């Protein structure tokens, strides 16, 4: 069995603190559950997407895109491969991990 969750990797200073706390909590929960299920066939991983395009206004999209190495927001379809990887046997040696797909946002 496989469990994956998604959450943000970077600190959010422009939203209420509860948003950042909840997202950071998902990473802790992922690691806890991976350890909790260590004697089973269950693997638990986290997928952290960032900047998924959803008809945002031009100013927001431009500002966001300028903060990524790839210079754009992602399309939701760009996460399909990662999800398939996480739920397949290709990730059989992966548990308690956070797979960040953010167009280079956290590298800058």
Q: Tell me if residue 32 falls in helix, strand or coil.
A: helix
Q: State residue 104's pLDDT score.
A: 95
DSSP 3: E
Instruction: Give tens-digit pLDDT for 8-44.
Output: 555 555 667 888 888 899 999 999 999 999 999 999 9
Name the token pair of 22. 């909840």
Q: Are 36 and 45 in contact (CB under 8 A)?
A: no
Name the token pair of 102. 């953010």
Q: Are 100 and 68 in contact (CB under 8 A)?
A: no
The whole-angstrom separation of Cα 51 and Cα 81 is 17
β-bridge partners, 47 = 6, 99
Domain boundaries, the chain: 2-107
Q: State residue 15's pLDDT score.
A: 66
Model pTM? 0.79
Residue 19: active-site member? yes
Among 19, 37, 64, 93, the one annotated catalytic: 19
The CATH code for residues 2-107 is: 3.40.50.720
Q: State residue 19's pLDDT score.
A: 81
Instruction: Give tens-digit pLDDT for 50-108.
Output: 999 999 999 999 999 999 999 999 999 999 999 999 999 999 999 999 999 999 999 98
């Amino acid at each position: 069995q496989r469990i994956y969750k998604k959450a943000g990797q970077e600190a959010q200073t422009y939203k209420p603190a509860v948003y950042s706390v909840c997202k950071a909590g998902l990473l802790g929960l992922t690691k806890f559950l991976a350890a909790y299920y260590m004697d089973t066939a269950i693997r638990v991983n986290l997928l952290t997407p960032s900047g998924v395009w959803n008809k945002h206004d031009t100013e927001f999209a431009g500002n966001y895109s300028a903060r990524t190495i790839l210079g754009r927001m992602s399309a939701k379809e760009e996460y399909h491969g990662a999800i398939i990887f996480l739920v397949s046997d290709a990730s059989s040696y992966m548990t308690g991990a956070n797979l960040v797909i953010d167009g280079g946002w956290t590298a800058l």
